[in-house]
């Protein structure tokens, strides 16, 4: 299982199986430049592999008015 926390909302989603960050973005309906993907304090590019047990933060990129 891969555990994903969506920021800024704080909602959590889980995926039984995912190959790469790109697949995660597609599942969430996000473009490549829509969010920061963070695992263990490290930024991941779309080609990086995800593994069972990963805790991933998806932080949508938005700016205040």
Partner 1 sequence: MKCRKCKAVAAVALPSHNTAFCPDCYPDFVRSQVERAIHRHKMIAPGDRVLVAVSGGKDSLALTLLLHELGHEVHGLHVDLDIPNSSTDARAACEGFFTKLGLPLTVIELHREGLAIPLVKSRIKRPICSVCGKLKRYYFNKFALENDYPVLATGHNLDDEVSRLFANTIRWDRAYLSDQGPLLPAENGFARKIKPMYRLTEFEIANFSFLRGIDHVIAGCPYSGKASFPIYKGLWSGLEERMPGAKVQFYENFLREGRPVFAAWSDQQGELPTPCTECGYPTSAERCGVCRIKAMVADDEK
Q: Is 40 in the site for partner 1 (CB under 8 A)?
A: no
> Closest CB to partner 1 among 16 and 29?
29
Q: Is 34 in the site for partner 1 (CB under 8 A)?
A: yes
Q: Is 44 in the site for partner 1 (CB under 8 A)?
A: yes
Count CA within 13 A, CB hemisphere, residue 61: 9
Count CA within 13 A, CB hemisphere, residue 59: 10
Q: Is 54 left (phi over 0), alpha (psi -120 to 50) or beta?
A: beta
Q: Is 1 in the site for partner 1 (CB under 8 A)?
A: no
Binding site for partner 1 (CB under 8 A): 7-8, 31-34, 36, 38, 42-47, 59, 61-65
């Amino acid at each position: 299982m891969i555990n994903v926390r969506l920021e800024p909302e704080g909602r959590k989603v889980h995926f039984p199986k995912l190959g790469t960050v790109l697949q995660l973005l597609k599942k969430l309906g996000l473009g490549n430049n829509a969010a920061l993907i963070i695992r263990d304090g490290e930024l991941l590019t779309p080609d990086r592999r995800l593994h069972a047990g990963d805790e991933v933060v998806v932080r949508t990129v938005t700016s205040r008015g």
